[in-house]
Amino acid sequence: MRACRGQSVPHTPVWFMRQAGRSLPEYRKIREDVGMLESCRRPELVTEITLQPVRRHNVDAAILFSDIVVPLAAAGVDLDIVAGTGPVVAEPIRTAGDLDRLRPITADDVSFVGESVRLLVGELGATPLIGFAGAPFTLASYLIEGGPSRTYTRTKAMMYGDPQLWHALLSRLAGITAAFLRTQIDAGVSAVQLFDSWAGALSEADYREFVLPHSAEVLGGLADAGVPRIHFGVGTSILLRAMGEAGADVVGVDWRTPLDQATALIGPERAVQGNLDPAVLFATWDVVEREARRVLAQGRAAPGHVFNLGHGVLPETNPDMLTRLVELVHTVSAR
Ligand SMILES: O=C(O)CCc1c2[nH]c(c1CC(=O)O)Cc1[nH]c(c(CC(=O)O)c1CCC(=O)O)Cc1[nH]c(c(CC(=O)O)c1CCC(=O)O)Cc1[nH]c(c(CCC(=O)O)c1CC(=O)O)C2
């Protein structure tokens, strides 16, 4: 967590988005007979799954095994996570009348998450636990499209065509997201990450008008909580300056923008996280080592650097490559 605040560290800390999950045989075994959303609601299972990559890779942080759509289900949305597809929403939100299907959530609605965090904090000892939530735009895109999208045509049709409904929807999502993160913070996570995975679908002007105020509402509302806030998106090269204004302590960068260029856009008050291309882990080790050393060298331009991939671990990744990568980052960055 010191790196998140730009404080000196013995080595660059490293963890991986999606470190728990399909790349691990032990995950696939434990998930054989339980659905994804169900697994997120069982604290014993969440604890075991979250610990698997920490034991195997010796990463410097754990990330809570959950999903960005968990708070939407708690808010009353009829959705499922379909393997090979992703989140699928039975009745997409398209009109003002549909908004009523999205209720505010209380800590009780997601009490299983608080229980998971408390169990994990007990098991993890000195290893910090990172909590997370999806950002309003990314959640809105699933709710409006009804599932994953490449074009976001229905999302943008509402954004341009009915700004009043758009801002009402994102404001409600900001409230749900803030409550979900607050539950995790109150239960003891050491940091939180806000995932705006699909913000890269927007121009900077549209991001600033339609998205930034709502992400800033979430991040600003947690300023008093005393834990570092990480804000991440994909395809965000032209959005980094604006994302840096949303109120996070750290900005997660995808693999397309070198970290020395990214920090120039994000500004000297914030640390950076990332940003090895997850696909590099499918190349030979000499390529992984070369690219990891480049990321570490470029990360030194920022006031603080947390090593990560530029997006989540890909399901077919060889887990041994991740274990070797952690060791390399620790060795190369040792001060
Ligand atoms: O089939 C399974 O076993 C469940 C797959 C799985 C899901 N959430 C999961 C896991 C564990 C894992 O990644 O292996 C578990 C999951 N989802 C997420 C996280 C946080 C993180 O990325 O570290 C985590 C926890 C990872 C960890 O604890 O290490 C967050 C998440 N879910 C989602 C998104 C947005 C997005 O990626 O579309 C995002 C934002 C992160 C990102 O951009 O990668 C939505 C989502 N949830 C899910 C999927 C995969 C559906 C499929 O292709 O089968 C998808 C869509 C997708 O990844 O394309 C389900």
pLDDT of residue 259: 98
Q: Mind listing the pLDDT tens digit for each residue in 97-142?
A: 999 999 999 999 999 999 999 999 999 999 999 999 999 999 999 9
Rounded Cα distance between 192 and 213, Å, is 19
Task: Report the pLDDT averaged over residues 136-160.
Answer: 98
Q: Are 81 and 37 in contact (CB under 8 A)?
A: yes
Residue 31 known to be catalytic: yes
Which of 31, 172, 229, 270 is an active site residue? Answer: 31
Please give the single-letter amino acid code of residue 79.
Answer: L
ipTM above 0.85, yes or no: yes
Q: Decide whether any atom of ligand 1 lies within 6 Å of the 84 Cβ.
A: yes
Q: Decide whether any atom of ligand 1 lies within 6 Å of the 68 Cβ.
A: yes
Task: Report the pLDDT averaged over residues 38-57.
Answer: 98
Per-residue pLDDT for 293 more than 90?
yes
pLDDT of residue 258: 98
Residue 182 assigned as binding residue: no
Residue 18 assigned as binding residue: yes
Confidence of residue 2 (pLDDT cuts 50, 70, 90): confident
Residue 300 known to be catalytic: no
pLDDT of residue 7: 87
Q: Name the residue with the closest Cα to ligand 1, atom 56.
A: 86
pLDDT of residue 328: 98
Rounded Cα distance between 305 and 150, Å, is 31
pLDDT of residue 323: 98
**Which of 48, 55, 68, 253, when mutated, tests ligand 1's pocket best, judged by the most ligand atoms within 8 Å of its CB?**
68
Q: Name the residue with the closest Cα to ligand 1, atom 44.
A: 312
Task: Report the pLDDT averaged over residues 135-152.
Answer: 97
pLDDT of residue 56: 98
Residue 273 assigned as binding residue: no
Closest atom of ligand 1 to 53 CA is 29
**How many residues in the chain?**
335
- What is the CA(268)–ligand 1 centre distance, in A? 31
Structure tokens at 110: 């997601």
Q: Mind listing the pLDDT tens digit for each residue in 76-102?
A: 999 999 999 999 999 999 999 999 999
Which of 27, 109, 142, 254 is an active site residue? Answer: 142
**Which of 39, 67, 143, when mutated, tests ligand 1's pocket best, judged by the most ligand atoms within 8 Å of its CB?**
67
- What is the CA(27)–ligand 1 centre distance, in A? 13
Per-residue pLDDT for 47 more than 90?
yes
Residue 249 known to be catalytic: no
Which of 27, 41, 60, 67 is an active site residue? Answer: 67
Confidence of residue 6 (pLDDT cuts 50, 70, 90): confident
Q: Are 12 and 3 in contact (CB under 8 A)?
A: yes
Mean model confidence pLDDT for the chain:
97
Q: Are 215 and 137 in contact (CB under 8 A)?
A: yes
Closest atom of ligand 1 to 49 CA is 28
Q: Mind listing the pLDDT tens digit for each residue in 222-254?
A: 999 999 999 999 999 999 999 999 999 999 999
pTM to 2 decimal places: 0.97
Rounded Cα distance between 137 and 143, Å, is 10
Residue 229 known to be catalytic: no
Residue 294 known to be catalytic: no
Q: Are 40 and 65 in contact (CB under 8 A)?
A: yes
Residue 19 assigned as binding residue: yes
Structure-derived torsion over alpha carbons of residues 132, 313, 199, 151, reported in degrees to the nearest 10: -130
Residue 184 assigned as binding residue: no
